Structure 1
Amino acid sequence: MRVHHLNTGTMCPIGRRLVNGTGSIFQRARMVCHCLLIETNDGLALVDTGIGLGDIVNPPRLGPKWVRQTTPRLDPVETAVRQVEALGYSKGDVRHLLLTHLDRDHAGGIPDFPNAKVHVHRREYDMAVTGRTPAPKGRYITAQWEHGPQWSFYGEGGEDWFGFKGVRALGDREPDILMIPLPGHTLGHCGIAVRTKDKWLLHAGDAYFFYGQIQASPRVPLVLGMFQRRGDMDRAMRIENQERLRSLKANHGDAVTIFNSHDPVDYENCRCGQHQQAPAHARAG
């Protein structure tokens, strides 16, 4: 079974050198919405959904300030649902949406798959959907789930995974897709780990923004770093989890490929080698 790497929303803010670390400050940067389409034992699963068709039809719902700052391309061809269809599937084949968190550029495609179960950390749901925990004003776009999807919640704890505590995101039918709590960017932010034939993949969401942040000598372009700090709900936890990811890469880089949501370098490196999941008999246990 294959794991497809999809870009479900290109963003083109000004200041390429200060965002991507290359080129001129007068050029447009490139950021992506890196999602995964996974063939599982229980239908297709999407890790994050990027920008959705409803966002493209009605861009103001994304927030004028966010649209102005990020300059999204808003191309329907890039949406997850259109890419799923281009691969020969229907939207009904997507049974599970596994969300790293519920920010607008990760949850926009939820209504494009109305029958899919939405898997999210309970703390994220309590903040974004019910308001049980107050969220920063304007952080979440509630129109992206106003159709009332079927939610599935996960909490802290779970299995140990390279020193992280994970949860079986799809239960016993798919034991090799794990939700890994990585709070900081939001309080319920998670990574999603998928075991493939060759190694684990860890979609780290917005736990870091730039590929250089999990290298031995971490670095991040100026404006991208500022944008990251503005998005922090718990900066100390975000920094701590980046250090944990750095250690994971240093100590287990041969066993785990780590990538984030928006870095085009991470995305292109993954896209160059589409991954296959291990056969069921090899993944047991």
Structure 2
Amino acid sequence: MAEWEVHAVKYADRNARQRRDSFVFDDNHDAPHAMDYFMWLLRRGDQTILVDTGYDDAEAALRGRPIRMDPRHALAPLGIAPEDVTSVIVTHLHYDHAGGLHLFPNATLHMQRAEMAFATGPCMCHDALRAPFSAGHVCEAVRRLYNGQVVFHDGDAQLTEGVSVHRIGGHSRGLQAVRVMTSAGWMVLASDAAHFYENLLARKPFPIVVDMQDMLDGFDTLLRLASKPELIVPGHDPLVRSYYAEGVADHITRLDPGPIREVLS
């Protein structure tokens, strides 16, 4: 089976966080706990797939959460122009994962049917469930649907040779992880099925949750999908950048060869 390159592209961070923001069950809630924000770029020959899109300066200003670079500029060292992106896997529609959909106008979106239903349905009547979404991003997904640029999946689906998506839920109703064949084996981009290694390895749920059981069961799914646990890549953990080698720029990390040192256990 053909192997893919996998690049983690950091575009933002939030360092003024505490452990209470990352773990439901923890005995040191006031301790600092930083978060990185990533997109992921899959490449095999001339075929590319973008996983999530980050968010832009307008959303950053709206939420008071600055970004370090525009997602389009963050991808530039990889030789990726926004108009050349034709396939985007949307792991879920939260602002930090789908806030840049409009930046890639030619892309067809791959998302779970459950996520669109969740983001446009009665659950959005609740402030707590609606908070991580922005109406403009959801409307952009709907516009793509009416333009014939959305492919829905219902659970597990293979997109192309060596790349598949798998509905996890938990954090958002239609959250999906991405499984990709690499030279190191089957790698799983967990996205927010595991924000941090500690969520997964210590079974500590993340506080933003729709279905706690789905989140906890999702940890087992991630472990089942990966060739080995160290090939599970959390969605927001700064440790990713120390476990894997630096890529073509200092904000890009090359994942597909596997970790360069032992992953936290």
Corresponding residue number in structure 1 for 2:167: 181
TM-score (norm 1): 0.71
Amino acid at match of 1:190: Q
**TM-superposed deviation, 1:132:** 3.8
1:126 Cα deviation from its structure 2 partner: 1.4
Q: Is the 8 A contact 1:43 1:94 kept in 2?
A: no
- Cα displacement (A) at 1:87: 2.7
Match of 2:190 in 1: 204
Among candidates 257, 276, 279, match of residue 231 of structure 2: 257
Q: Is the 2:203–2:216 contact (alpha carbons within 8 Å) kept by the matching residues of 1?
A: no
1:168 paired with 2:158, answer: yes
Q: Give the partner amino acid of 1:37.
A: L
SS of equivalent to 1:8: strand
Are the equivalent residues in 2 in contact too, given 1:101–1:124 (CA < 8 A)? yes
- Corresponding position: 1:115 with 2:128: no
- After TM superposition, the runs of 4+ consecutive aligned structure 1 residues lying more than 4 A away are 16-21, 23-27, 246-249
Distance across 1 between alignment mates of 2:191 and 2:81: 25
Question: How far did 1:83 drift?
Answer: 1.6
- The separation in 1 between residues aligned to 2:213 and 2:112, in whole angstroms, is 20
Instruction: Letter of the 2:213 partner, please give it.
Output: A
Q: CA 1:40 to 1:110, structure 2 compared with 1: closer, same or farther past 3 Å?
A: farther
Contact in 1 for aligned 2:203/2:219 (Cα 8 Å)? no
Cα gap change, 1:244 to 1:177, in 2 (>3 Å): closer
CA distance in 2, matches of 1:40, 1:52: 27
Deviations 1:246-269 (A, max 9, x none): 5667xx417x71011111113432
Secondary structure of 1:240's counterpart equals helix
Distance 1:210 1:84 in 2: 23
- Do the aligned partners of 1:16 and 1:26 also contact (CA within 8 Å) in 2? yes
User: Aligned partners of 2:238 and 2:121: how far apart in 1?
Assistant: 35
Does residue 7 of structure 2 align to residue 8 of structure 1?
A: no
The CA deviation at 1:54 is: 3.7
> Counterparts of 2:103 and 2:54 in 1: how far apart (Å)?
11
Q: What is the CA distance between 1:117 and its match in structure 2?
A: 0.8
Q: How many residues align?
A: 235
Deviation, structure 1 residue 53: 4.1
Distance 1:153 1:50, change over 3 A: same
Q: Which runs of 5+ in 2 are unaligned?
A: 247-252, 258-265
Q: 1:18 to 1:100 in 2, by over 3 A?
A: closer
Could you tell me whether the CA contact under 8 Å between 2:11 and 2:54 is conserved in 1?
yes
Structure 1 residue aligned with 2:200? 214
Structure 1 partner of 2:216: 239
For 2:92, give the aligned amino acid: H
Unaligned runs of 5+ in 1: 157-165, 278-285
User: How many angstroms does 1:271 deviate by?
Assistant: 4.5
Contact 2:10 2:36 in 1 (8 A): yes
Q: CA–CA distance in 2 between the matches of 1:118 and 1:90?
A: 17
State, as a whole percentage, how many aligned pairs show the same letter.
Answer: 23
CA distance in 1, matches of 2:150, 2:203: 37
Q: Match for 1:74: what amino acid?
A: I
SS of alignment partner, residue 9 of structure 2: strand
The TM-score normalised by the length of structure 2 is: 0.76
1:142 aligns with: 135
Q: Sort the Cα spacing of 1:248 and 1:113 in 2 relative to 1 into closer, same or farther, 3 A.
A: closer
1:234, 1:39 → 2: CA distance? Answer: 33
Q: CA deviation at 1:219?
A: 6.0
Q: Which amino acid aligns with 1:266?
A: V
What is the aligned-residue RMSD (CA, Å)?
Answer: 3.0
Which of 79, 85, 93 pairs up with 2:84? 93
